[in-house]
């Protein structure tokens, strides 16, 4: 809700602005979308909102139904965002008028980014008190707090205490008691300034660009949730795809989930808190706080945010209107291998169960071939059971892989059936694609497994298919690689060239390669160890082969000596003379047969 004043007139400069500084990323930061969706959820229509600190412009766009005041430290950022806000205050938190009150305060970049280099420092606690003071009774604070011992820091290749970038004029760390360092401390500090914590979301994989926000209490409780497993994995793989890290963040996130530490080790937390006392009178739209979702995650190339909400009937998918595309792309309107129809997901139940990939990895590590056989048999039977009479799978089932299928007892379900194949795919190719993805994870990820290092990725896929009870050939696996490239290119929004590069990469994956995605020191080292072991194996094999060859050559020489001796004997010569007519006759017959064959071959050509 912007006024008719010109953008320049909306900028207020109370002092403390940074003139040669910008916090905004150069490009659009799509990863901020779950945070923006959450912000839109807690801001009622017509509310007065303070957006404190730098935020992606997309977040402001989601708050068009409210009257937004931005509090920024950077003057260039103020100019850039002025068109999207009713007012922009450029300066430190001291620049807010003392008597100003807001219905909602959003500090999605944390409190450190609110303070300017100019003027006296308030510190984390001081800024919180200032912002809490700007909330009207019953108002809502949306606050991001970074975890000093969170996953992002744990996997970071650079130590947090040695930052050298321009933002690091001070470094906030766990040593500073003014900064809360865990969820309990955050709750206590909020309570000290009269705020009641309504909800806390774990932000993955990077607090600055969360792709998934998951209710922290549920994350800690539902340790075997396939939904959370898949959300964390996707967030870590996609969100840190180009990062250099110490260890695989997706592995660590899944381990944390299963240990009940998903919230404790979250890279950051997004807290929703209310100013107390609660309003004792119904006051327009602010009286009843909206129920908060279980999780919000960004998915797909269009950056749609899917919510999971708690419903009396169980968890359900929810797609807000702002995230709903006007018209789902019709299959005929696109030449892509897949298209997405999230609208059909809205209101559908979220299936329960554990993620198939996690169960398979666990069984592979424990060398539990019985469990592997049971799981893979079940997965293959579930796929084949959906195939049409022509043996093909269409729509969502054609895209089911071990990364997207949940297992509940003996029941297999696709977690998110909104992705659809444009054309049907042979069921065996779908199976091969799922198994090849798992084989790639297993070998390039450096996981211990029950098979030998002599298998390449295609070979391991064939072996896995055998465990699933299907005798696949390599041609089926090759067809699965083509489908994989087409599907991944469509999901990532790659063009023809990108797709060709992807296909080439997929075809050339070797078991001694590190996995695609974040460059992890641990996995790079592991890949090097695998290469070294393979070299050792091949060298030992070469030596054995050389020794064997020497021994066989010696045996051959002995045999030749014997033959020569026998060839020179009288009985050999007499025998050879005796069979000479037979040899000549045989030679003549062969020549006649050859001439006849040549004649037969040239005749049809002449007729042509």
Partner 1 sequence: MHHANHFYGHAHVLARYAGLGDGHPPRINGYVQHGWNIGDGLAPGHPYVERTPSLLWSEQTRRRAWSVGRRNLVVIGAPFVYLLAMRAADPPPERREGTIWYPFHGWEGQHVRGDHRELIARIRDTEPGPVTVCLYWHEYGMRRVRRLYEDAGFRVICHGYRGHWWRDTDPYFLDKQLGELRRHRRVASNRLTSAIFYGIAAGCEPAVYGDPMVLADEDPTFGGTARIRRQWPELHGEVVDLPTAVAIARDELGTDHRCTPAALRELLGWANLQEGTS
What residue ranges bind partner 1 (CB under 8 A)? 367, 369-370, 373, 450-455, 459-460, 462-463, 465-467, 469-474, 533, 536-537, 540-541, 543-544
Closest CB 476 distance from partner 1, rounded Å: 10
Nearest CA to 36 out of 89, 85, 103, 108 is that of 108
Separation of alpha carbons 270 and 148, rounded Å: 14
Nearest residue (CB) to partner 1, 143 versus 429: 429
The CB-of-454 to partner 1 minimum distance in angstroms stands at: 6
Question: Nearest approach, Cβ of 536 to partner 1 (angstroms)?
Answer: 6
Instruction: Give, in degrees to the nearest 5, the angle at Cα 33 between 28 and 37.
Output: 140
- Token pair of 236 as six digits: 């870590």
User: How many whole angstroms separate alpha carbon 479 and alpha carbon 507?
Assistant: 11
Nearer to partner 1, 175 or 541 (CB): 541
- What is the distance between the terminal CA atoms of the chain, rounded to a whole angstrom? 83
Q: Tell me how far, at minimum, the Cβ of 166 lies from partner 1, in Å.
A: 50
In 3D space, the residue among 419, 417, 421, 431 whose CA is nearest the CA of residue 480 turns out to be: 431
Shortest Å, Cβ 308 to partner 1: 39
Q: How far apart are CA 255 and CA 399, in angstroms?
A: 26
For residue 552, the minimal CB distance to partner 1 (Å) is 10
> Nearer Cβ to partner 1, position 86 or 463?
463
Rounded to the nearest 5°, which phi and psi values hold at 164? -125, 0
In angstroms, what is the minimal distance from the CB of 473 to partner 1? 6
Contacts 24+ apart (CB under 8 A), 123-129: 123/178, 124/172, 124/176, 124/178, 124/179, 124/180, 125/178, 125/189, 126/93, 127/93, 128/189, 128/190, 128/193, 129/193
State which residue, 28 or 536, has the beta carbon closest to partner 1.
536
Six token digits for residue 428: 């065996």
The CB-of-450 to partner 1 minimum distance in angstroms stands at 7
Please report how close the Cβ of residue 600 comes to partner 1 at its closest, in angstroms: 28
- Least gap, CB of 537 to partner 1 (angstroms): 4
Shorter beta-carbon distance to partner 1: residue 343 or 475: 475
Which residue, 198 or 373, is less far from partner 1 as judged by CB? 373
The least CB distance from residue 353 to partner 1, in Å, is 25
Q: What one-character-per-residue DSSP string does 224-246 give?
A: T-HHHHHHHHHHHHHHTTT-EES
DSSP, collapsed to helix, strand or coil, labels residue 309 as: strand
Alpha-carbon distance of 553 to 72, in angstroms, equals 83
- Can you state the angle between helices 226-239 and 356-365, rounded to 10 degrees? 90
- The Cα–Cα gap between 308 and 227 comes to 10
Q: Give the orientation angle of helix 427-444 with respect to helix 356-365, to 10 degrees.
A: 50
Q: Which is nearer to partner 1, 505 or 533 (CB)?
A: 533
Measured from the CB atom, is 167 or 474 closer to partner 1? 474
Q: Which is nearer to partner 1, 544 or 572 (CB)?
A: 544
CA distance 478 to 470: 16
Closer of 202 and 460 to partner 1 (Cβ): 460
Q: What six digits make up the tokens of 446?
A: 């450096």
The residue (of 279 and 459) whose beta carbon lies closer to partner 1 is: 459
| Residue 477 in tokens | 């696996």
């Amino acid at each position: 809700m912007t006024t008719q004043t010109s953008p320049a007139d909306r900028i207020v400069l109370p002092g403390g602005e940074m003139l040669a500084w910008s916090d905004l990323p150069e490009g659009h930061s799509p990863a901020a979308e779950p945070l923006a969706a959450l912000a839109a959820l807690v801001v009622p229509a017509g509310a007065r909102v303070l957006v404190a600190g730098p935020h992606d412009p997309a977040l402001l766009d989601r708050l068009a139904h409210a009257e937004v005041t931005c509090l920024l430290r950077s003057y260039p950022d103020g100019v850039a965002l002025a068109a999207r806000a009713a007012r922009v205050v450029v300066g430190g938190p001291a620049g807010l008028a003392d008597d100003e009150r807001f219905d909602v305060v959003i500090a999605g970049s944390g409190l450190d980014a609110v303070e300017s280099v100019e003027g006296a420092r308030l510190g984390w606690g001081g800024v919180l008190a200032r912002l809490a003071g700007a909330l009207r009774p019953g108002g809502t604070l949306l606050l991001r707090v970074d975890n000093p011992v969170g996953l992002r820091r744990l996997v970071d290749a650079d130590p947090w205490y040695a930052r050298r970038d321009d933002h690091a004029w001070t470094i906030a760390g766990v040593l500073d008691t003014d900064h809360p360092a865990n969820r309990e401390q955050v709750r206590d500090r909020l309570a000290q300034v009269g705020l009641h914590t309504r909800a806390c979301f774990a932000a993955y994989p990077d607090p600055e660009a969360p792709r998934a926000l998951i209710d922290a209490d549920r994350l800690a409780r539902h340790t075997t949730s396939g939904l959370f497993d898949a959300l964390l994995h996707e967030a870590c793989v996609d969100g840190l795809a180009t990062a250099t890290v110490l260890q695989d963040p997706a592995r660590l996130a899944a381990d944390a989930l299963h240990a009940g530490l998903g919230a404790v080790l979250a890279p950051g937390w997004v807290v929703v808190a209310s100013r107390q006392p609660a309003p004792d009178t119904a006051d327009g739209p602010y009286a009843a706080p909206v129920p908060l979702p279980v999780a919000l995650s960004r998915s797909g190339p269009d950056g749609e945010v899917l919510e999971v909400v708690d419903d009396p009937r169980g968890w359900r998918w929810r797609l807000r209107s702002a995230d709903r595309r006007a018209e789902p792309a019709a299959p005929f309107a696109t030449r892509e291998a897949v298209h997405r129809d999230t609208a059909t997901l809205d209101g559908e139940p979220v299936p329960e169960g554990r993620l198939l990939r996690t169960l398979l990895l666990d069984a592979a590590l424990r060398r539990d071939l019985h469990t592997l056989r049971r799981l893979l048999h079940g997965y293959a039977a579930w796929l084949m059971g959906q195939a049409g009479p022509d043996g093909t799978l269409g729509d969502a089932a054609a895209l089911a892989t071990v990364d997207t299928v949940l297992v509940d007892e003996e029941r297999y379900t696709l977690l998110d059936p909104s992705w659809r194949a444009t054309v049907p795919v042979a069921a065996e190719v779908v199976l091969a694609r799922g198994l090849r993805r798992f084989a790639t994870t297993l070998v390039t990820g450096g996981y211990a497994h029950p098979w030998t290092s002599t298998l390449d990725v295609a070979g391991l896929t064939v072996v896995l298919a055998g465990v699933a009870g299907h005798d696949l050939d390599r041609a089926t696996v090759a067809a699965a690689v083509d489908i994989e490239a087409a599907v991944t290119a469509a999901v990532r929004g790659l063009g023809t060239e990108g797709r060709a590069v992807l296909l080439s990469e997929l075809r050339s994956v070797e078991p001694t390669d590190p996995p695609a995605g974040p460059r992890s020191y641990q996995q790079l080292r592991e890949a090097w160890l695998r290469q070294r072991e393979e070299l050792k194996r091949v060298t030992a094999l070469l030596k054995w082969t050389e020794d064997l060859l020497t021994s066989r050559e010696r045996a051959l020489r002995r045999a030749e000596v014997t033959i020569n001796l026998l060839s020179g004997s009288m009985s050999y010569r007499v025998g050879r003379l005796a069979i000479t007519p037979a040899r000549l006759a045989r030679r003549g017959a062969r020549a006649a047969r050859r001439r006849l064959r040549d004649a037969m071959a040239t005749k049809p050509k002449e007729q042509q």
